[in-house]
């Protein structure tokens, strides 16, 4: 169907009119639709329901209807919520902490002010009580003032003054101990209170002690420390330090520092004590204990070992040393050095059987360990020394009781074990002197001086005996002798018979410079043995004996004084020993000759010729240090022998050259033995 032009124009006009003309609503006159309102005209109980019987809602009186709860809160928290919550909590904690600190400061300030007020009141009250003579109550109030205000110097001065006044009162009442206690308290509060120190010295002097002696002050300090008065002990130790700053006082000051818990200060005191006297055992022990507490096992073991060596009776040091090495063995039981260390600790403390077991264990773990044999040799010497010490103790007991014969028997056994122990020789001299054997005593004291030249007491005894023998014209019969004993040194002398084989207690004098060759007779016709023929040969700076051993050329004629000194003949037994030694020397068996002479020394300790011959053989064996020692002894025993003196001087030169050669060959670095690593 087609639309004509007329129809199209009519349609266009109608659309235009409908758009441009506003729309008009038609008014509805119909009744409203039913709703949940009240029934019109209803009264009574029907007024609350509508026509369908449903409750009527009065929207005019109630508020706007609440929206249903949101589901946002039920969602899971993400990192933003967690960070926000953490920041809020941190801020709250910081605020609470700041408030707490602020409150604590305020409380502290208030408490300080309150304490200062209490201290001032107590001090004022104490001053008033002191003026009234109530010193006990005044001291109590002064102590209260110092307690509440410990930084107030004036309060301390007042307390110290009150204690000095009370001490003066006790001193006047002859209560010297109580007065000294009060003066110490005054010094403890104010160390520079000169009045307290002055009266303290007076109180100690009235107690019967010399206050100017450091030992007395140390003894008083020890008693106070044992009773728990640490402050008083500290005062006495400080006074001893002013009188005599010795290793002992330094150690006591270190002990006080340890009691107060100041470890660093204590170690400083102990180190100063060791520097003051390296041979003071307690200082090494305390220093080792501090190192042990600081876990320095290597340093602790070294210091405790020194303490035990210096004082074998120091059980505390010995137990700690053993404990250190037991820990090392427990940490590494397969290390031979740990067993060696434990064995050495056991040996030092006298447990020889356990020490031997530890050395055996070390040898099983390390058969090539060369120090095991040296340790066992040291152990054997320690066992012998312990036996000798028992005889020495018995000697001292008998000697103090006046049983000189028994004392002589005991010290003789000790000398047989250790003939070169100067202490044993000194005791032997004392016993022989008491028994009337002045010649034997002279020889014993002479040996003691040779072994220990610094022993002034032995030298004094020796001078007294020699003066007595000289004044008596050399007649030993003038010396007092116990009843029943004939002249010492004769056949009837029991002391001479007992020690004749040892070269002590007999009338025999040591021979000087006389030695027979094989088949030669004794006397002046015997030729003297010299150590060298011509100058010694050298090899790279080291002196070496001539081929075939050291030659002993005949010496030149001795001066008359040397000939007179060499007049005493050699006894047959010694001559036989020297002849046998020379036979071995001719066969170039210098080791055999040295062994023979060493065995002979136990019975001829005072024989300078045997020492000289032994020195020559040791030199041929290359044992320079031992040879020099024997030459020195021979020269000391025969000071008038020119041959001995010359040989001794030559040996010293050889030894010096040998040391110089060793130093050059080693680049100047001394040899050191292997050491165990640091202890764990």
Which residues lie closer than 8 Å to 531 by C-beta, 6 or more apart?
550, 552, 616, 619, 646, 647, 650, 651
**What pLDDT, on a 0 to 100 scale, did the predictor assign at position 470?**
63
- Residue 318: closest CA among 292, 346, 294, 355: 346
Percent of the chain at pLDDT exceeding 90: 18
Whether residues 497 and 546 share a domain: the answer is no
Measured distance CA(285)–CA(317) in Å, rounded? 6
Whether residues 476 and 580 share a domain: the answer is no
**What pLDDT, on a 0 to 100 scale, did the predictor assign at position 67?**
63
**What pLDDT, on a 0 to 100 scale, did the predictor assign at position 58?**
61
SS3 52: coil
Whether residues 282 and 417 share a domain: the answer is no
pLDDT in tens, 418-444: 888 999 999 999 999 888 888 888 889
**What pLDDT, on a 0 to 100 scale, did the predictor assign at position 49?**
65
Measured distance CA(638)–CA(567) in Å, rounded? 13
In the listed set 328, 345, 373, which residue is the last one of a domain according to the structure?
328
**What pLDDT, on a 0 to 100 scale, did the predictor assign at position 16?**
67
* Domain interval for residue 133: 124-328
Report the domain count for the chain.
3
The secondary element (H helix, E strand) that includes residue 485 is none
**What pLDDT, on a 0 to 100 scale, did the predictor assign at position 633?**
83
Cβ contacts of 237-245, under 8 Å, gap ≥ 24: 238/191, 239/197, 239/200, 239/211, 240/214, 243/212, 243/213, 243/214, 243/217, 244/214, 245/276
Whether residues 452 and 305 share a domain: the answer is no
Whether residues 193 and 267 share a domain: the answer is yes
Residue 307 is encoded by which pair of tokens?
């303490």
Of 545 and 215, more confident: 215
541 and 660 Cβ atoms separated by less than 8 Å: yes
Residue 289 is encoded by which pair of tokens?
């204990």
What would the DSSP string read from start to end of 179-213? Answer: HHHHHHHHHHH-TT-HHHHHHHHHHHHHTT--TT-
Mean pLDDT of the chain: 76
Of the pLDDT bands very low, low, confident and very high (cuts 50, 70, 90), residue 23 is: low
Of the pLDDT bands very low, low, confident and very high (cuts 50, 70, 90), residue 568 is: very low
- Residue 503: closest CA among 610, 411, 606: 606
Q: Is residue 440 part of a domain?
A: yes
Picking from 240-244, 396-400, 557-561, 621-625, which range would have the lowest pLDDT averaged per residue? 557-561
**What pLDDT, on a 0 to 100 scale, did the predictor assign at position 2?**
56
661 and 541 Cβ atoms separated by less than 8 Å: yes
**What pLDDT, on a 0 to 100 scale, did the predictor assign at position 428?**
92
Of the pLDDT bands very low, low, confident and very high (cuts 50, 70, 90), residue 10 is: confident
Whether residues 402 and 259 share a domain: the answer is no
pLDDT in tens, 512-562: 333 333 333 333 333 333 333 333 333 333 333 433 344 343 333 333 333
Q: Is residue 86 part of a domain?
A: no
pLDDT in tens, 655-667: 777 666 554 444 4
Q: Is residue 515 part of a domain?
A: no
Q: Is residue 527 part of a domain?
A: no
Whether residues 416 and 321 share a domain: the answer is no
**What pLDDT, on a 0 to 100 scale, did the predictor assign at position 61?**
56
**What pLDDT, on a 0 to 100 scale, did the predictor assign at position 289?**
92
pLDDT in tens, 628-646: 888 878 887 887 888 888 8
| Count of other CB atoms within 10 angstroms of residue 484 | 7
Picking from 142-146, 156-160, 468-472, which range would have the lowest pLDDT averaged per residue? 468-472
Of the pLDDT bands very low, low, confident and very high (cuts 50, 70, 90), residue 308 is: very high
**What pLDDT, on a 0 to 100 scale, did the predictor assign at position 619?**
84
| Average pLDDT score over residue span 467-495 | 42
- Residue 423: closest CA among 435, 431, 415: 415
Residue 480, pLDDT above cutoff 50: no
Look-up of token digits 């000071």: 639
Q: Is 95 exposed, middle or buried (0-12, 13-18, 19+ CB in 10 A)?
A: exposed
**What pLDDT, on a 0 to 100 scale, did the predictor assign at position 64?**
58
**Which parts of 332-455 fold into alpha helices (H)?**
336-348, 352-365, 371-400, 404-417, 422-435, 438-451
Q: Is residue 472 part of a domain?
A: yes
Whether residues 259 and 182 share a domain: the answer is yes
SS3 544: strand
Residue 634 is encoded by which pair of tokens?
């021979």
Q: Is 154 exposed, middle or buried (0-12, 13-18, 19+ CB in 10 A)?
A: exposed
**What pLDDT, on a 0 to 100 scale, did the predictor assign at position 56?**
63
Cβ contacts of 389-396, under 8 Å, gap ≥ 24: 389/414, 391/417, 392/423, 392/424, 392/427, 395/427, 395/431, 396/427
**What pLDDT, on a 0 to 100 scale, did the predictor assign at position 488?**
33
Q: Is 247 exposed, middle or buried (0-12, 13-18, 19+ CB in 10 A)?
A: buried
424 and 414 Cβ atoms separated by less than 8 Å: yes
In the listed set 502, 520, 552, which residue is the last one of a domain according to the structure?
502
| Average pLDDT score over residue span 394-423 | 90
According to DSSP, residue 534 is labeled S
The secondary element (H helix, E strand) that includes residue 555 is none
Whether residues 170 and 306 share a domain: the answer is yes
CATH number of the structural domain spanning residue 541: 1.25.40.10
Whether residues 323 and 391 share a domain: the answer is no
| Average pLDDT score over residue span 468-486 | 44
pLDDT in tens, 91-127: 999 988 988 888 888 888 887 888 888 888 888 888 8
In the listed set 328, 351, 375, which residue is the last one of a domain according to the structure?
328
- Burial letters 267-294, b for 16+ CB under 10 A, else e: bebbebbbebeeebbbbbbbbbbbbbee
Whether residues 559 and 459 share a domain: the answer is no
Residue 313, pLDDT above cutoff 80: yes
**What pLDDT, on a 0 to 100 scale, did the predictor assign at position 302?**
92
Query: What is the CA angle 460-465-467, rounded to 5?
Result: 95
Q: Is residue 358 part of a domain?
A: no
Q: Is residue 659 part of a domain?
A: yes
Whether residues 495 and 543 share a domain: the answer is no
- SS3 for 630-662 is HHHHHHHHCCCCHHHHHHHHHHHHHHHHHHHHH
Q: Is residue 82 part of a domain?
A: no
């Amino acid at each position: 169907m087609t639309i004509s032009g007329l129809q199209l124009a009519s349609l266009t006009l109608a659309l235009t009119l409908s758009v441009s003309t506003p729309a008009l609503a038609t008014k509805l006159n119909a009744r409203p639709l039913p709703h949940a309102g009240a029934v019109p005209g209803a009264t009574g109980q029907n007024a609350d329901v509508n026509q369908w019987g449903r409750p009527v809602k009065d929207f005019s009186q109630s508020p706007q209807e609440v929206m249903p709860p949101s589901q946002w809160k039920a969602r899971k928290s993400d990192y933003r919520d967690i960070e926000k919550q953490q920041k809020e909590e941190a801020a709250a904690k910081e605020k609470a902490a700041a408030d707490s600190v602020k409150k604590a400061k305020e409380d502290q300030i208030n408490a300080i002010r309150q304490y200062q007020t209490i201290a001032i009141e107590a001090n004022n009250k104490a001053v008033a009580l002191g003026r009234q003579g109530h010193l006990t109550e005044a001291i109590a109030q002064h102590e209260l003032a110092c307690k509440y205000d410990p930084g107030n110097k004036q309060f301390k001065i007042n307390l110290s003054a009150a204690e000095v006044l009370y001490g003066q009162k006790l001193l006047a009442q002859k209560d010297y101990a109580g007065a000294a206690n009060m003066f110490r308290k005054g010094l403890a509060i104010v160390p520079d209170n000169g009045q307290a120190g002055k009266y303290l010295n007076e109180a100690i002097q009235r107690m019967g002690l010399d206050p100017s002696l450091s030992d007395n002050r140390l003894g008083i300090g020890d008693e106070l420390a044992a009773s728990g008065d640490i402050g008083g002990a500290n005062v006495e130790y400080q006074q001893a330090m002013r009188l005599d700053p010795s290793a002992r006082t330094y150690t006591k000051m270190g002990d006080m520092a340890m009691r107060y818990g100041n470890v660093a200060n204590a170690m400083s005191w102990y180190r100063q004590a060791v520097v003051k006297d390296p041979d003071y055992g307690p200082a090494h022990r305390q220093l080792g204990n501090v190192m042990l507490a600081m876990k320095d096992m290597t340093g602790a073991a070294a210091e405790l070992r020194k303490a035990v060596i210096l004082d074998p009776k120091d059980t505390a040091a010995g137990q700690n040393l053993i404990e250190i090495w037991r820990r090392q063995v427990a940490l590494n039981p397969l290390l031979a050095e740990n067993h060696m260390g434990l064995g050495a600790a056991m040996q030092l403390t006298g447990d020889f059987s356990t020490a031997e077991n530890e050395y055996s264990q070390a040898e099983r773990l390390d058969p090539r360990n060369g120090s095991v044999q040296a340790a066992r040799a040291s152990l054997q010497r320690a066992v012998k020394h312990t036996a000798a010490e028992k005889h020495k103790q018995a000697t001292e007991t008998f000697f103090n009781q006046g049983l000189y014969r028994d004392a002589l028997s005991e010290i003789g056994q000790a000398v047989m074990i250790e003939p070169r122990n100067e202490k044993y020789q000194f005791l032997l001299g004392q016993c022989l002197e008491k028994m009337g054997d002045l010649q034997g005593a002279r020889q014993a004291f002479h040996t003691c001086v040779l072994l220990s030249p610094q022993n002034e007491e032995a030298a004094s005894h020796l001078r007294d005996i020699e003066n007595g023998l000289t004044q008596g014209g050399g007649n030993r019969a003038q010396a007092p002798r116990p009843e029943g004993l004939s002249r010492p040194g004769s056949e009837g002398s029991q002391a001479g018979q007992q020690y004749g084989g040892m070269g002590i207690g007999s009338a025999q004098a040591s021979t000087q410079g006389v030695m027979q060759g094989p088949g030669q007779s004794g006397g002046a016709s015997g030729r003297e043995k010299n150590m060298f023929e011509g100058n010694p040969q050298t090899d790279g700076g080291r002196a070496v004996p001539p081929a075939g051993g050291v030659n002993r050329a005949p010496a030149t004629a001795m001066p008359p004084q040397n000939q007179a000194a060499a007049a005493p003949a050699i006894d047959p037994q010694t001559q036989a020993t020297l002849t046998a030694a020379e036979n071995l020397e001719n066969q170039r068996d210098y080791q055999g000759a040295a062994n023979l002479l060493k065995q002979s020394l136990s019975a001829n300790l005072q024989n300078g010729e045997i020492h000289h011959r032994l020195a020559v053989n040791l030199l041929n064996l290359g044992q320079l240090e031992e040879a020099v020692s024997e030459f020195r002894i021979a020269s000391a025993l025969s000071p008038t022998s020119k041959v001995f003196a010359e040989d001794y001087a030559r040996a010293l030169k050889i030894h010096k050259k040998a040391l110089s050669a060793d130093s050059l060959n080693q680049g100047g670095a001394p040899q050191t033995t292997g050491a165990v690593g640091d202890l764990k």
